[in-house]
Amino acid sequence: MISQEKLQAILQRLRAQEGVRGVVVTTMEGLPLSSDIDPDTTESVAAIITSLVGKAMDAVRELKEGNLSFLTLDTSKGQINIAPEPKEGLILVVLKNNE
Amino acid sequence: MRKDDQGRIHLKLVFYGPSLGGKTTALRWLYGKVEGLQKGEFTAIEDETNRTLFFDYVPMSAGGRVLFDVFTVAGQKRHKHQRKVVLQGTDGILFVADSSPDQREENTESFEELKMFLGDDLGRNIPIVVMLNKRDLPNRMSRDEMLDLLGLGSNVPIYETIALQGVGVKRAFQAIAREVILKRMYK
Amino acid sequence: MSEPKVFDKILTEIIRQDKGVKKCILVDKTGLTIANVSKLSAFVVDTDSIGAIASAVFCASEEQGKNLQIGELEIVTSEFSGGKIFASACGKGVLCVVSEAEVNIGMIRLVMKKQGVQLAEELDKFLAVEPMPGKDELDEEDLKSALEELERV
Ligand SMILES: Nc1nc2c(ncn2[C@@H]2O[C@H](COP(=O)(O)OP(=O)(O)OP(=O)(O)O)[C@@H](O)[C@H]2O)c(=O)[nH]1
Ligand SMILES: [Mg+2]
């Protein structure tokens, strides 16, 4: 499993980027591990993104397209970047504002 | 009194009393031996010596749209909080007193605790029937001695029972079920 | 009194949220199962006793919380090697969800919290015994016949 220090360093770097509104790390069980946004939103992000990742993984598997490595949702508010790390049992979620 | 989503009436009956008094034995006898009652599954949460840890539970019915959800409490002193939980929403009490002379204090303590939990409702809104159990013991306390011990007058139905053999158990159960129904009809 | 079907509707909504959810049960705090919904494939079990235990376990934890003065109980999670049980506060009742072991816990918690609010409202309506014309007589009929059956036992 990834060390806390390494994880924190990655999060620091992400948060420092321009336009980043929030960074959430959740387990594959939909439980948030780390977040810099309010608790209610964090809970929703963790639960709903985990569910989405599960479905996306199913779709990729069904289509025999290998493994899911990244998901991007373009929204009117900006972008949601989702990086599943099945080996770590984690999902990294980055919420960004429109440029 | 409660209703389920099919509109059936549920009445909750609770066997109360000191540990090892025979509550579980009496309920098991009703469950295994009384054919006129329709029964669901018997659920028991107990330790490996068969002492109740939390409760026993069986849904029973004499037919029709009225069901009795019958529970026993865990009688050991340390399970006081579990007893409080099991008592929630009870419609009637079957108090099982132990006729062994060495259980005098346990009987009174348990009865006092019950009065404390239910307050004025006991005997008024919540009918009670008392079983003097283990009447087969050669050194049993006399009936009068036990009624004195519990401070019971003539207003509470008393049944002398031997739960191990089922003696008096069915009648005691019918009595509390009847009291509870009558309480609902003429409240 | 509210339409019992409304419980089934909400419970079905919960069961649909995650494919790992197998069973949803609504119980009151006296141990009575008020409504339940299962996936077709789910094991056949005695729902009444599941409900009675779920209610008792939740209420026992609640009692524990009171003794320790740590506030209101929101959710109890029991994890088994082959599945999970969630029980959450729901007004005068307890909402119980049974799932597989591998499941989106966050989603289940979220859905239980959300639907729990609506379920609690419906439950309050359901448990508030409003006298309805003709209903009391019906109950009395039921009670009377139970009384007769009882003598025959
Ligand atoms: N002699 C005699 N023994 C009895 C009678 N009824 C029960 N017992 C015995 O008393 C013991 C305890 O009975 P239980 O029914 O387990 O007692 P309980 O009231 O459920 O006890 P807790 O679960 O600890 O509250 C058992 O060994 C029974 O066999 C009876 O009528 N006569
Ligand atoms: Mg027992």
**Any contact of B with A, at least 3 CB pairs below 8 A?**
no
Task: Supply the pLDDT for residue C135.
Answer: 59
What is the CB neighbour count within 10 angstroms for residue B165? Answer: 13
Domain ranges of chain C: 4-152
Crossing angle for the helix pair C5-17 and C105-127, to the nearest 10 degrees: 180
pLDDT at res. C140: 85
Would you state the pLDDT for residue C4?
65
d(CA C85, CA C55): 12
Supply C26's token pair: 């609504």
Contacts of B66 in chain C (CB under 8 A): 142-143, 145-146
Counted residue by residue, chain A has a size of 99
Indicate the number of domains in chain B: 1
Q: Number of CB pairs < 8 Å for A and C?
A: 35
Give mean pLDDT, residues B96-116. 97
Candidates B85, B97, B95; CA nearest to B127 is B95
The residue extents of the domains of chain A are: 4-15+25-97
CB atoms near residue B124 (< 10 Å): 11
- Give the nearest chain A residue to C103 (CA atoms): A29
Subunits close to A (at least 3 CB pairs below 8 A): C
Q: CB of B44 within 8 A of CB of B101?
A: no
Rounded mean pLDDT of B60-84? 93
Alpha carbons B61 and B64: distance in angstroms, whole number: 7
Non-local CB neighbours of B18 within 8 Å, separated by 6+ positions:
B75, B97, B98, B103, B106, B107, B109, B110
B164 lines ligand 1 (CB under 6 A): yes
Instruction: Render pLDDT for B2-51 as a digit per residue (tens, 0 to 9).
Output: 888 788 899 999 999 999 999 999 999 999 999 889 999 999 999 888 99
Give the torsion sign (CA, B124, B69, B24, B180): positive
Q: Using an 8 Å Cβ cutoff, are B113 and B146 in contact?
A: no
B168 alpha carbon, closest ligand: 1
ipTM of the complex: 0.81
Place of tokens 């739960």: B163
- pLDDT value, residue C100: 94
Q: Give pLDDT tens digits along chain C (153 positions).
A: 456 688 999 999 999 988 899 999 999 988 889 999 998 766 677 888 888 899 989 999 998 998 899 999 999 999 999 999 999 999 999 999 999 999 999 999 999 999 999 999 998 888 776 555 555 677 888 888 898 888 888
Domain with B131, as residue range(s), is 2-185
User: Over the stretch C13-48, which tens digit does the pLDDT of each residue have?
Assistant: 999 988 899 999 999 988 889 999 998 766 677 888
Strands B158-160 and B128-133: parallel
Distances (CA, A) of B127 to B91, B121, B124, B156, B183: 7, 8, 6, 9, 8
Instruction: State mean pLDDT over B61-76.
Output: 93
Question: Locate tokens 């019906």: which residue?
Answer: C138
**Residue A77 dihedral angles phi and psi, to the nearest 5°:** -85, -20
Q: Where residue B32 sits, what CATH number does that domain have? A: 3.40.50.300
Q: Is B92 in the pocket of ligand 1 (CB under 6 A)?
A: no
Interchain contact C75–A (C-beta under 8 A): no
pLDDT tens readout for residues A33-67: 999 999 999 999 999 999 999 999 999 999 999 99
Q: Which of B2, B54, B170 is the closest to C28 by Cβ?
A: B2
Thinking of the domain C4-152, which architecture would CATH place it in? 2-Layer Sandwich (3.30)
Per-residue pLDDT at A26 exceeds 50: yes
Task: Please name the amino acid found at residue C76.
Answer: V
Angle, vertex CA B22, rays to CA B19 and CA B24, nearest 5: 95
Distance CA A44, CA A51 (A): 11
Q: What's the CA gap between C98 and C78, in Å, rounded?
A: 10
Can you identify the CATH homologous superfamily of domain A4-15+25-97? Dynein light chain 2a, cytoplasmic (3.30.450.30)
B1 close to ligand 1 (CB < 6 Angstrom): no
Q: How far apart are CA A55 and CA B55, in angstroms?
A: 42
Whole-Å CA distances, B138 to A66, B130, B142, B151: 80, 21, 11, 24
Instruction: Report the amino acid identity of residue A38.
Output: D
pLDDT at C130: 53
**DSSP, residue by residue, chain A:** ---HHHHHHHHHHHHHSTTEEEEEEEETTS-EEEESS-HHHHHHHHHHHHHHHHHHHHHHHHTT------EEEE-SSEEEEEEEETTTTEEEEEEEE--
- Tokens 């079905």 correspond to what residue? C12
